[in-house]
Homo-oligomer: A and B are copies of this chain.
Amino acid sequence: MARTDTRFRQSHNAMLDMLSGMAPGAGLPSEVQLAAQFGVSRTVIRAVVQKLGADGILQGSGRGKRLLRVPKPKDHLPLREDYIGRDELEARFLDWVLRFDVPAGTALNITQLARQFMVPPHALQEFLASLGQSGLIERRPRGGWRLLGFTADYAVELSEFRQVLELNAIRVFTTLPDDHPAWAALASIREEHLDLLQRIEQDFHDFSRLDGRFHALLNSVVRNRFVAEFQKVISLIFHYHYQWDKTMERFRNEAAIREHLTIIAALQARDTGEAKARARAHLATSKETLLTSMRGHQLA
């Protein structure tokens, strides 16, 4: 088999479901209508109709198709639920790389990884290529891939780049007109910070997501596809590391919340210099956290 016939099977079963609601002898809609209804091409519909004819469920051909007998549950075709989507592949792969700190320079094995992640080798190949620009992966001269690894160097450069983007975002933020929706969002997220600070003893775990949303908000005011693209990578990696370093988590998070609040205050006061300074301090601690988290993890 070449391409998977998932589409055919799904349409087949959907057609059975439709036919179940009809009386024997009733006529069918036209092929074009069926195709539009199921969101597939006419080719698929025709294949389904032909199979149903062979199975004795439909009778006649062309315009004169009629329902011969009501389909039974057994007529449904089983469909294999293999193959995960691209997003899940990304999550699983990063999880694998970051969690089991694969040593830098490891040669990656396409087929093995493809089996491991339950994707066709082809899809993995494409995924690795798309990761190429993130600097985590390198093409070997003659075939194959090499994992450059998530090294301390990488973390430092990532943090520095993040700082460049985020300081720029803050500069842009302070120049926004007062009626810009971002100001309302900022006030709202400030409330959330205060709220979480109140119940920090129990709910300090919630900070990771709040942190992600806060930084996303800051960067959202920069309408730039390149920034957005990098932001995705950055937040992903920081998010993953947050899940590890459990040391002092409660205190780290409380300190981070307070740092966020000083940034918010400076922004609301339209004090660019102060906001930048506060953000610099916050990003510096964030970078340190990332680095110590990595060191701790390498020992484990």
Could you give, for residues 154-168 of chain A, a 1 whenever the CB lies within 8 Å of some chain B CB and a 0 otherwise? 100110110011001
**By the criterion CB–CB under 8 Å, are A226 and B130 in contact?**
no
Taking the closest CB of chain B, its distance from the CB of A106, in whole angstroms, is 18
Contacts of A224 in B (CB 8 A): 157, 160-161
Neighbouring B residues of A134 by C-beta, 8 Å: 133
Q: Which of B126, B132, B158, B223 contacts A226 (CB 8 A)?
A: B158
A132 to B130 alpha-carbon distance, docked (Å): 6
Known contacts A133-B133, A164-B165, A164-B168; is-contact A157 B126 (Cβ 8 Å)? no
CB pair A229–B133 under 8 Å, yes or no, is yes
Inter-subunit contact A225/B126 (CB<8 Å): no
Q: Which residue of B lies closest to A226 (CB)?
A: B161
A225 / chain B contacts, CB cutoff of 8 Å: 135, 154, 157
Q: 1/0 per position for A118-138, CB-CB distance to B under 8 A?
A: 000000011101101111000
Tell me if A200 is interfacial: C-beta within 8 Å of chain B: no
In the assembly, what is the distance between CA of A127 and CA of B230, in Å?
Answer: 20
| Contact partners of A161 in chain B: CB under 8 A | 224, 226-227
| CB-defined contacts of A227 to chain B, threshold 8 Å | 161
Q: Which bracket fits the contact residues of A?
A: 20 to 34
Task: Report Cα–Cα, A225/B159, bound state, in Å.
Answer: 12
Q: How many subunits of this chain does the assembly comprise?
A: 2
Which one of A132, A224, A225 has the greatest number of beta carbons of chain B within 10 Å? Answer: A225
Q: For A126, give the chain B residue with the smallest CB separation.
A: B129
Q: Which residues from chain B contact A133 at a C-beta distance below 8 Å? A: 130, 133-134, 229
Residue of B nearest to A225 (CB): B135
CB-contact partner of A125 in B126, B135, B165, B229, under 8 A: B126
Tell me the complex Cα distance, A134–B226, Å. 7
Q: How far is the CB of A117 from chain B (nearest CB, A)?
A: 16
Residue of B126, B129, B168, B226 touching A135 (CB-CB under 8 A): B226
Give Cα A160–Cα B226 distance, bound, in whole angstroms.
10
Q: Chain B: which residue is nearest A169 at the CB level?
A: B164
When the two chains form the complex, which single residue of B129, B154, B223, B226 contacts A129, counting CB atoms closer than 8 Å? Answer: B129
Specify which chain B residues have a CB less than 8 angstroms from the CB of A165 in the assembled complex: 164
Residues of chain A at the chain B interface (Cβ within 8 Å): 125-127, 129-130, 132-135, 154, 157-158, 160-161, 164-165, 168, 223-227, 229-230
Can you list 7 contacts pairing A with B, beta carbon distance less than 8 Å?
A135-B225, A135-B229, A157-B223, A157-B225, A161-B224, A164-B165, A226-B230
Q: Which 5 interchain pairs have the tightest Cβ spacing?
A: A129-B129, A126-B129, A161-B226, A129-B130, A133-B133
